[in-house]
Chains A and B, each alone.
Chain A
Amino acid sequence: MTHRRDPSRSHLPSLLIADDDPVICSLLTAQLSRSFDVVASAGDAEQAIALAVEHRPDIAIVDMQMPAGGGLRAAREMHALAPATAIVALSADESDGMVRDVIQAGAIAYVRKGVAAHELMTTLRRSIEAHVLLSSPAPGDPVTIATAGTQL
């Protein structure tokens, strides 16, 4: 699912949600649409990669267990094709191996599936702040200033 950005919401960070459970997609949209402009949602890895390339969202929440290759593959390809997108991995698997794989795939944060909405918001906020810090180019760059000024 995709939609054209509403100009009145262009001050909000753009968000892509990728999860094969439509209930999760609906819940994340309801919880996050006040602070993010949800530009697209994907039901599998192939769709997630295509939508990330099309929309270049500021942030993407990606379920690690999705059809068509899985979330790790989606994260790797999104990181390669849309490197400015901050990827947050969503998974029920908390093992050290999964967390390591997720970071190696290019994700900047990991959220355990099933966390309450306020924990999710805190993680997303910190992810964006960290992503801006880590990817800051020279001072005065207008893109960085616009992103850093985003209020959540």
Chain B
Amino acid sequence: MTPPVLNPFGHDIVSKVRGVETAVTGLNDHALDVLIGEFEKLEGPFPRRRRRLDKVQLVISPEPGYGKSHLLGRLFHKLSRRANLVYVSPFEDPRSSWKSVQLSLVNELSFPDKIEVEYARGDEPTQLEALAHGVLVGLTALAVEKGLLRAKAAGALAKALAFLRALPIALFRKNPGKVGLLQGKRAALEETLRCFCEPLCLAGSSWLNFFFFAAYSPQRRQYRDACLDWLKGGAIDQVEAREIGLRPSDNPDPQATRDDSNMICRNRLLDLCKLAGFYRPFLFCFDQTENYGKNHELAMELGRVIETLWREGQNNVVIVTGNFKPWTDSVAKHWEWAHQDRLLRPPLELQGINRSQAEELVNLRLSLFGIPPEKRDGLFPAAWLEDTFSLTPQIGVRAFLRLCSERWAGAAGGVETRLSLEELFLKKIGEIKSDPKQVVFRYDPLLWVFRDAAKGFSGLEITEERSANGYYVLSWRSKKGKLWLGFEGGSNWKRWEGILNEATRLQKGDPAARTMVIRTVDLPPVPNANWKQGRAGEVRTWLELARDGLLTVLVLPLDDMVEIHAAHQIFLDAMSGNIDYSPEEAMAFIRTRLKPLFQRLFRVEPNKATPPAPETDEANDQPSDELIRRVRDVVFREKLLSFDELMKRLPPKTDENLVRKARACVPEIRVHVSPKMVYLQWQSQG
């Protein structure tokens, strides 16, 4: 089959900062250098290292498409394994801001520590595992340095300490004896924390035990999931908490209100920042800030979050990006003066691309697609470039890519027209499906789709109102009655007891009211197999009975999750000016497109049980070496083919999701997503 002709300039939006293309020479290098320079102020030997920067870094561009997200991507690559990298997705609920930021943090810390690795397999540590290990060895080295721990140091102390700090995590994972040795020094490590760390919100011992588990016991999946739930601010089972070594007081009340949960997440995050001082700083990037301009409460809350990170957080660099007009008119103007004062003045301002950089970009894109030089010269002659830059020395990068795209499409006999919203939506779905890590429970897209996108649905009145404990955050009112909606990622039986209690209270007040809690298929099932005995068993029975009109637990299947994430991202792109459609146009499309989803939700009968998602076997959840080799071989041989064609060349009944994960394990395979197809291209590294 003849390979398709892809448009080398069709990709002009950076949707993932972890996979940006090479930059052209000099473009926005100044901004990058300044940001790295600021970060480096926080590096250095502890405990003498500086803990806080003077300012929050503000990066501004005059219009969308000047490369803000690309800059963040370059920064991520430069600081990989020097910083804990966190890209913060915009939050939608000002009262759950810290919960959202902490969720972003946990999701980001679940990425591989090496940024060039897209999918972590086997012993490849995640950022969290690296952070946990780094803090432990960092504390140990400091304890030795300060005499709180005696160690046989062969040779000079400084050299020994450097050696200690550089010990790889793999060494400990392969040698349980070494972990045991370190665990035996717990008292000294706690003492070191007390002496050299600012007071923590949680007990030092809880954090140390958490780090031991996170770093050295990743294979114990149940406890690994519990660790992540706890880090997200959720309550975990008492048995799990004991096993991990958390103090009872540090395991949140499972029935904590939403506001309390929000504070818990805030405290977790600030503690992590303090502890990071023993290893490496955090980098927090707040991108797509136009979304906060939707209402002044969101904008104000962003200001408060940034202020808190700066004032109370330590060992972190905060970067905020924005487009000039939305930033000044819709976001910053709602900040208190004190919060605005935290921002770097003047901000870092991005540059457009100049003529020579444009030529370099054209060559770069065409060479990635193997276009011969003579064709390049024919399609993009010097005269055209001169003409393009005749009235201005610089153009926004995206604007230039679009000019190139039009030229390419025209020369290929086709016509460059803007993609319709349907095409953009399908493209987004392709991108999300290609990236296994994107399809996870996220509160903000869910809240947005059921609060904002569902508005205007015939006969439906949506109100943002909270139940007393905040388990339910929205109400839908129709002729059928009132439906309370909540979004819950936690799996602790006590929390679900609280959710059921609240549902009962709501129904007492309004017998026609129903409640629905929305979860996603990646979460553990509720109720789960462990809720067998005692009170947990009772809650299980109650939950099953509750389907008869009290509470419905709706588990969104993968396809629905993908559509919801795609819709949310399209809307964010429209807000940020990344696509040629206004937010209003995007929303009108999304409401029509998601209508079948809302209709299905309306038809969910309260007594119809949502079948629990099957428990996944961890071993079968990972692509095998054999599968990875096959995928690699096929793409290498074909050089360019669609995902569907790849599937045809693999054994029948091969799981698509496993193939996607296998693809992510081969760095030479580049993914190109069009509205109708996902293409895989072989690109040699180096």
A and B interact: no
